[in-house]
Structure 1
Amino acid sequence: MRPRTQYAKCGDLYIAYQVFGDGPVDLLYAQGWLTNVEYAWESPDYARFLTKLGRFARVIFFDKRGTGMSDRNVGVPTLEERSQDINAVMEAVGSQKVALFGMSEGGAICSYFAATYPQNVSHLILYGSRPRYAWAPDYPAGTTEEEIEASISDLIANWGGAFELDTGAPSVAGDRAAAEWFAAYFRYSASPGAAEQITRMNYMIDYRDLLPAIRTPTLVLHREGDLWCPVECADYLADNISAAQKVILPGDDHLAWYGNQDDILQAVEEFVTGDQSRTVSQRKLLTVVFIDIVGSTDKLSALGDERWKSLVEQMDIMVSRRVGGFAGRRVKHTGDGYMLCFEGPTSAIECAREIRRDLDRLGLQCRTGIHTGECEQIGEDLSGLAVNIAARIMDTSGPQEITVSQTVKDLVVGSDTKFGSAGDKELKGVPGRWSLHRVAS
């Protein structure tokens, strides 16, 4: 269940926060830039990230003043004033000492708080963060004034769209569901005028002089290919915080919940709990099924929010029942569809057929992609080339089509399943050409 949004009083302002998880430590998670603690849970990727945080900590999750569910019209607060939001929320939940996890701009207020109130901070984690935003002769990793003005102009001109998702999270740049959620997340978080004000406010951040005063054990996390925040920013933080250790992770995504989020979560868990045991991963031959609802946005517009929500709930019940009936597993909800896995391809195909019939009775159409291959299984999640292939095969399917790889077709030889050729195709991000086949109706 999603946590309830509550409010803490910080002077004359109300700061929205949530508390979830039952781990042995309190972890306060400060997000960057524009945020909304309620709409964050609408993203299956972000919801999974938050849920996993709550498995090893009691998580305090909040919207900074000026954004999201917190009071909006706050002028141009200083870094000191923004750090007081942490004090207010900690007092509201009765927490005396926390591990601070600051992502991007959230790292600035966490660093200020850690330097000012070291007795209230057990650990400091800075992910994708920077001590200064503007370029300076002694800080070449900064952004020039021309670059920030161009970025703000682009932000205002394209407000309502998925702003710079191709650079903020390249791994999902082609994912329509992720782009739609990301665009809506900004709209729920701020108006375009407020977004401009917050961007200009962040551009003035420079807390380099505070870094030597941070004595709290600190973990600097960064992805090596981060396009929003260059890795040199992590180098600067680690070099100037005496108690810091630096971990550079593979990947290009700035947004922590995209890409391999388990790398980040693993590092944070080990750091704050002292648990060095790694989650065991295993490779396993599985049949992966991706299902996407066709025209979901148009359907939502036609039905309205309430009727669409009811339809989605019925769809979830039907899919879960069918998957269970074929001894499969629902890996995750993908925004407009599902990722499923099965021990064998025959049950995967039969289940996909039944789901297609169920959705048709609800007035929905779907497209489906299926591939069998070796997957890496970490906890409940799956990754690996086989997963990517199944997703790309789905992209080639039309409405009501179930498309499979040659591997799947070969493995079900002898069954009653009939196929028609879908041709040899290139799959985005996958080497070579792939012979694809459509399951006969």
Structure 2
Amino acid sequence: MIYRFDRFSIDTTRHVFACDGEPVHLEPQVFALLTELARAHGALVSKDQLVQSVWQGLAISDATISARINAARMALGDTGRDQRMIRTVPKRGFQLVPEVIGQDVQGVGDVAMAAPSVRFAMSGDGAAIAHSVNGSGPPLMRVGHWLSHLELDWRCPVWQPFLARLGRNFTLHRYDQRGTGLSERDLTRVDLDDFVGDLLAVADAAGLETFPIFAASQAVPVAIRFAALHPERVSRMVLYGGYAVGRALRPSRPGEMDEDTVLGLIRAGWGQVDSAFFKAFISLFIPDGTPEQIASFARVQNLSITSENAAILRAAVDRFDASDDLERVRVPTLVIHAGGDAIQPITQSQHIAGTIPGARFTMLDSRNHVMLPQEPGWEEMMQAVTEFCLRSD
């Protein structure tokens, strides 16, 4: 991603800060601090957010933060008195003053980075589900999944290119799964049908009658059950890196941690970059992630859900079972899976594709559970999703 403001640019892919097109050396922490401020696009960035993203949650003094802010101001030709470029909001945090334009280095183009507005739909049990829309074109529903935050995702170097790319061809509808992001955090009801009800509530609130679906990971069984129950509402369906039978209901793979160990690690190390859980989480989800992408994932972890709710939700989605729904699905379906995915076995997608009548299957060359925009397979996936969902036959 390249962020441009005033006379300056920050290229996070090449790790280059430039003034009037000429590279300027910055200390790594100053570069990371400026990147975090630019990514916020004028929104307030708290000291806690800076500590998480720049110092990976380590205990540091206010004097250390002030020193890096002063160095960032110096690089921008600013001072603590003028605050023309970086504004201090006492006891709250910092803001980058100039307008920021983000450019996806994968060719998405210049995009305004302000997060789309958020609305709420009431699910059948009264849960408030946060949902949002971006882009233009025919509708496409992205089903909510375990780790999401409608606002943070729009500034995340993993998710923003994906959202912007889909927004080029579709009016993209997305929502935060119950218990996560901006949706209601209560997790009293976590059956598969509750999550199907959330999808229905968002579609109804958005006025969507018939629409294609994109679902990834644990959103896949939700989409399968929804398509089986409401075939008249779904025109096409793309299922990426998912499963029909949850981890707790299928035989363990060699070397796989037992559920109690996983849930214990989540409760003890959620969002802590130095914890055993976070290191294992990253090594499985995005082993090829850049430092910026990994830091962003830590931030999303911390702000999208509490550690206790993460454990509750993890236990719930690991018990989703949509296997009996597969043969009842009658909508055109494309199943995609990364060949080296260590989170969900490719055999689950193969089973889904082999059971849903007429489903197509595509394997991508990647070992990341979440496809990264710098991978060749990312472009292959985006083209496949776009072409399939725009088909009319």
Same-fold call, TM cutoff 0.5: yes
State the Cα distance separating 1:32 from its structure 2 match.
2.4
How many pairs are equivalent?
Answer: 271
Letter in 1 for 2:177: K
Q: List runs of 5+ in structure 2 lacking aligned partners.
A: 1-111
Q: In the alignment, is residue 107 of structure 1 matched against residue 193 of structure 2? A: no
Q: CA deviation at 1:141?
A: 6.9
Q: Which digits, 9 at most, give the CA deviation of each residue in 1:245-273, with x for residues without a partner?
A: 10011111111345342121111011111
The answer to whether the Cα contact below 8 Å between 1:211 and 1:237 also exists between their aligned partners in 2 is yes
* Matched AA of 1:269: T
Residue aligning to 1:235:
350
Alignment partners' CA distance in 2, 1:257 and 1:37: 19
Matched, 1:7 2:124: no
- Per-residue CA deviation, residues 385-433 of structure 1 (Å, 9 max, x unaligned), is xxxxxxxxxxxxxxxxxxxxxxxxxxxxxxxxxxxxxxxxxxxxxxxxx
Q: C-alpha deviations, 1:28-72, integer Å up to 9, x for none?
A: 001421221111112133111100011111110101112110001
Counterpart of 2:62 in structure 1 is none
Matched, 1:153 2:264: yes
Question: Within the alignment, does 1:16 sit opposite 2:130 as a pair?
Answer: yes
Say whether the 8 Å CA contact 1:98–1:123 is kept in structure 2: yes
Question: Which structure has the bigger radius of gyration?
Answer: 1
> Which range is displaced more, 98-107 or 127-136?
127-136
Shift of 1:275: 9.1
Query: 1:5-404 residue pairs with structure 2 within 5 A?
Result: 5-11=118-124, 12-23=126-137, 25-134=138-247, 139-140=250-251, 147-162=258-273, 163=278, 164-172=281-289, 175-258=290-373, 259=375, 260-274=377-391
1:145 Cα shift?
Answer: 9.0
CA distance 1:17–1:156, change in 2 (3 Å): same
Do the aligned residues in 1 keep the contact of 2:140 with 2:212 (CA within 8 Å)? yes
Contact kept? 1:76, 1:201, Cα under 8 Å: no
Query: Does the CA contact (< 8 Å) of 1:169 and 1:254 recur in 2?
Result: yes
Q: Which runs of 5+ in 1 are unaligned?
A: 277-441
**Cα distance in structure 1, aligned partners of 2:223 and 2:179:** 17
| Structure 1 CA distance for aligned equivalents of residues 184 and 256 of structure 2 | 29
TM-score (normalizing by structure 2): 0.65
SS of 1:45's partner is coil
Return the offset for 1:133: 1.8
Contact residue 269 and residue 275 of structure 1 kept, 8 A: no
Looking at structure 1, the residues matched to 255 and 312 of structure 2 have their Cα atoms a distance apart, in angstroms, of 17
Q: 1:3 to 1:143 in 2, by over 3 A?
A: farther
The change in CA–CA distance for 1:135 and 1:72 in structure 2 (over 3 A counts) is: closer
How far apart, in 1, do the equivalents of 2:153 and 2:259 lie? Answer: 26
Deviation by residue 1:354-409 (Cα, 9 ceiling, x = unmatched): xxxxxxxxxxxxxxxxxxxxxxxxxxxxxxxxxxxxxxxxxxxxxxxxxxxxxxxx
Equivalent position amino acid for 1:22 in 2: S
Residue 387 of structure 1 is matched in structure 2 by none
What is the aligned partner in structure 2 of residue 373 from structure 1? none
Measured in 2, the distance between the counterparts of 1:98 and 1:51 equals: 19
Distance 1:141 1:233, change over 3 A: farther
C-alpha separation between the residues in 2 aligned to 1:141 and 1:118?
33
135 and 73 in structure 1: CA distance in 2 versus 1, 3 angstrom threshold? closer
- 8 Å contact from structure 2 (residues 335, 359) kept in 1: yes
* Deviation (angstroms), 1:89: 1.1
CA positional deviation for 1:147: 2.2
* Superposition deviation, residue 156 in structure 1: 2.0
- 2:166 maps to a residue whose letter is L
Distance 1:143 1:188 in 2: 33
* Cα separation, partners in 2 of 1:101 and 1:53, compared to 1, 3 Å: same
